[in-house]
Amino acid sequence: MVWGVGLVVYALAVFHRSSLAVAGLAATERFDISASQLASFTMLQLLVYASMQIPVGLMVDRYGSRTVLTAAVAVVSTGQAAFAFAGDYPTALVARALVGVGDAMTFICVLRLVTSWFPARQVPLVSQLTGNLGQLGALGAAAPMTWALGQFGWTRAYLAGAVAGLVMLVVLRLVLHDSPTQAHLRGVPMSARALARSLAASWEQPGTRLGLWIHFSTPFSPALLGLLWGFPFLVSAEHRSEATAGALISLLFLTNLFYGPFFGWLVGRHPWHRSTLGLVIVGAMASVWASVLLWPGDAPLGLLVLLILVTGAGGPGSMVGFDVARTSNPDHRTASASGIINVGGFTSSLLVIVGVGIVLDALSPGSDGSYPPEAFRWAMAVQYVLWGLGTVQILRYRRRIRSLTTREQVAGGSSMVEISPGPRPSA
Ligand SMILES: N[C@@H](Cc1c[nH]cn1)C(=O)NCC(=O)O
């Protein structure tokens, strides 16, 4: 029950995060803004999210999931309510930033609950299910939100999400305990210096860095498609109808339901090969994107479906990063290590979304807002820079961790290494 409540709260956060995706046109009219001002909502949210991860991880280790999740739901609902009533662009930006803050506090709390409530051998699978079932919130923010906006109008549609948050707040306070034996699982108070030492200790573990780079390399491609550029790419560059493009984006979220349990099972059985899974996912995404981008003319529908099915592995693949960090750190640092990991994917997503926008603008001089297919192809190729960097770093830290641990140790549930005093490894 505790996990179920945590999962619903996370799905609601994903709903709030994605609830602007189908309201772009309405938002441009309501706030009288340009396309780039509209994109800045998404960028602001991602920026706030990424920059909050380390403080949030430390807060969860110190105050426990129940307390931080309560604050998260209160903040995200306030933000969504403010967005419902916002009549001008600056107010709407502040409201979206609040949504980003509350959203940033949610996932790490729920992952921490999973490690406290489930036996260690079930944690990889349940964490995968958490990350992936939570994406159903994005599906709820697609067709149902389109319907609600048309039926009830802006204010009432967004307010409904905020009210759902208040209901979950009550349920959370009634049901959710930090562990089977304690309502509140609190860490010891630490000075700023001790916090810095604890973070440094996590960072010195090669498994934390390996996890960060797996999380960096895997989820940005589905984020690029699902959060901002997928729809215009499919319509403008691949000349698909809006209905087909919408169906392909929905399929992207649905793939999570397949990959989640599969990767969870795989990671639980073969922890030594977690980085191999990360590399295979990156390789598969890079290859299928190359086929689409190099295809002369419009890519056939079958290839676009393949692109979606393969790219859909990126989000679930990023969960592997959390698992590597979990087994590389002691329990009292689990949440702050997860915070470090989560910076990876949200930074790479932000970079790729901004990068694609910059290349599109540079290659479409004087355009009226519609981008030529050729510009889109070059813009989407920005992904290769990040995949290249991510792959080099995964290989680097995987080599380091493999030289310092054994298969038996990792199979036993730990990839922690003894850090010897002396010169510290550089990033
Ligand atoms: N990459 C996601 C998790 C995921 C799983 N399937 C698709 N995405 C992640 O890191 N989530 C953190 C969050 O706050 O959503």
pLDDT tens column, 168-209: 999 999 999 999 999 898 888 888 898 899 999 999 999 999
Dist. CA 224–CA 46, nearest whole Å: 12
Sequence-separated (6 or more) residues with CB below 8 Å from residue 271: 124, 323, 327, 410, 411, 413, 415
- Residue 220: DSSP 8-state: H
Q: Which of 103, 342, 350, 352 to mutate to test the pocket of ligand 1 (most atoms within 8 A of CB)?
A: 342
Instruction: Name the residue at shortest CA distance from atom 2 of ligand 1.
Output: 315
For residue 427, pLDDT beyond 60: no
Confidence of residue 369 (pLDDT cuts 50, 70, 90): low
371 in the same domain as 239: yes
With respect to residue 188, please indicate whether it lies within any of the assigned structural domains. Answer: no
**Per-residue pLDDT at 368:** 60
With respect to residue 10, please indicate whether it lies within any of the assigned structural domains. Answer: yes
Confidence of residue 392 (pLDDT cuts 50, 70, 90): very high
- Residue 331: DSSP 8-state: G
For residue 84, pLDDT beyond 90: yes
Instruction: Name the residue at shortest CA distance from atom 1 of ligand 1.
Output: 315
The answer to whether 208 and 329 are in contact (CB under 8 A) is: yes
What is the span of the domain harbouring residue 111?
1-181
Instruction: Name the residue at shortest CA distance from atom 14 of ligand 1.
Output: 107
Q: Which of 103-117, 141-155, 227-241 has the highest mean pLDDT?
A: 103-117
Question: What is the number of other CB atoms lying within 10 angstroms of the CB of residue 421?
Answer: 5
46 close to ligand 1 (CB < 6 Angstrom): no
Q: Which two tokens stand for residue 81?
A: 């309510």
Indicate if the alpha-carbon torsion angle 113, 118, 119, 123 is positive or negative.
negative
Look up residue 311 and give its amino acid. Answer: T
Q: Which of 105, 267, 319, 341 to mutate to test the pocket of ligand 1 (most atoms within 8 A of CB)?
A: 319
For residue 425, pLDDT beyond 60: no
> Ligand 1: distance of its center to the CA of 131 in Å?
5
360 in the same domain as 266: yes
Chain segment 319-344, per-residue pLDDT in tens? 999 999 999 999 889 889 999 999 99
For residue 155, pLDDT beyond 60: yes
Q: Which of 18-22, 181-185, 225-229, 406-410 has the highest mean pLDDT?
A: 406-410
For residue 395, pLDDT beyond 60: yes
**Ligand 1 atom at minimal distance to the Cα of residue 14:** 15
**Ligand 1 atom at minimal distance to the Cα of residue 218:** 1
Percent of all residues in the chain with a pLDDT value above 70, rounded to a whole number: 97
For residue 223, pLDDT beyond 60: yes
- Of 120, 154, 181, the position where a domain reaches its end is 181
For residue 423, pLDDT beyond 70: no
- What SS3 class is residue 243? helix
Q: Which of 281-285, 369-373, 421-425 has the highest mean pLDDT?
A: 281-285
> Ligand 1: distance of its center to the CA of 252 in Å?
13
**Ligand 1 atom at minimal distance to the Cα of residue 319:** 3
349 close to ligand 1 (CB < 6 Angstrom): no
327 close to ligand 1 (CB < 6 Angstrom): no
Chain segment 259-275, per-residue pLDDT in tens? 989 999 999 999 999 99
Q: Which of 16, 135, 340, 347 to mutate to test the pocket of ligand 1 (most atoms within 8 A of CB)?
A: 135
The answer to whether 71 and 53 are in contact (CB under 8 A) is: no
401 in the same domain as 306: yes
229 in the same domain as 150: no
* Residue 399: φ, ψ to 5°: -65, -45
* Residue 349: φ, ψ to 5°: -65, -45
319 close to ligand 1 (CB < 6 Angstrom): yes
Residue linked to tokens 């995949």:
387
119 in the same domain as 83: yes
With respect to residue 191, please indicate whether it lies within any of the assigned structural domains. Answer: no
202 in the same domain as 161: no
78 close to ligand 1 (CB < 6 Angstrom): no
Spell 383-392 as b/e; 16+ CB within 10 A means b.
beebbeebbe
Instruction: Taking residues 103-110, report their average pLDDT.
Output: 96
With respect to residue 279, please indicate whether it lies within any of the assigned structural domains. Answer: yes
**Ligand 1 atom at minimal distance to the Cα of residue 321:** 10
> Ligand 1: distance of its center to the CA of 78 in Å?
23
Q: Is 153 left (phi over 0), alpha (psi -120 to 50) or beta?
A: left
Instruction: Taking residues 91-117, report their average pLDDT.
Output: 96
Dist. CA 321–CA 158, nearest whole Å: 33
What rounded mean pLDDT belongs to the chain?
Answer: 92
219 close to ligand 1 (CB < 6 Angstrom): yes
Q: Which two tokens stand for residue 185?
A: 């699982």
- Of 129, 152, 181, the position where a domain reaches its end is 181
> Residue 3's domain is classified under what CATH number?
1.20.1250.20
Dist. CA 273–CA 331, nearest whole Å: 22
> Ligand 1: distance of its center to the CA of 201 in Å?
25
For residue 216, pLDDT beyond 60: yes
Dist. CA 337–CA 266, nearest whole Å: 22
220 in the same domain as 367: yes
Dist. CA 310–CA 255, nearest whole Å: 9
**Per-residue pLDDT at 62:** 94
135 close to ligand 1 (CB < 6 Angstrom): yes
Dist. CA 228–CA 310, nearest whole Å: 18
| DSSP notation for 375-415 | HHHHHHTTHHHHHHHHHHHHHHHHHHHHHHS-HHHHHTT--
- Of 115, 149, 181, the position where a domain reaches its end is 181
Dist. CA 164–CA 168, nearest whole Å: 6
Q: Which of 31-40, 234-243, 396-405 has the highest mean pLDDT?
A: 396-405
With respect to residue 186, please indicate whether it lies within any of the assigned structural domains. Answer: no
With respect to residue 217, please indicate whether it lies within any of the assigned structural domains. Answer: yes
107 close to ligand 1 (CB < 6 Angstrom): yes
103 in the same domain as 41: yes
**Per-residue pLDDT at 420:** 67
For the chain, how many structural domains are there in total?
2
With respect to residue 321, please indicate whether it lies within any of the assigned structural domains. Answer: yes
- Going by C-alpha positions, the residue among 320, 347, 181 that lies closest to residue 260 is 320
Instruction: Taking residues 248-260, report their average pLDDT.
Output: 89
256 close to ligand 1 (CB < 6 Angstrom): yes
342 close to ligand 1 (CB < 6 Angstrom): yes
Residue 285 to residues 288, 306, 395: CA-CA distances in angstroms? 5, 10, 17
With respect to residue 190, please indicate whether it lies within any of the assigned structural domains. Answer: no
Dist. CA 390–CA 218, nearest whole Å: 9
251 in the same domain as 177: no
Confidence of residue 384 (pLDDT cuts 50, 70, 90): very high
- What SS3 class is residue 134? coil
385 in the same domain as 275: yes
Q: Which two tokens stand for residue 331?
A: 């329990």
316 close to ligand 1 (CB < 6 Angstrom): yes
Instruction: Name the residue at shortest CA distance from atom 13 of ligand 1.
Output: 107
The interface predicted TM-score (ipTM) is 0.95
357 in the same domain as 219: yes
23 in the same domain as 47: yes
Question: What is the number of other CB atoms lying within 10 angstroms of the CB of residue 151?
Answer: 9
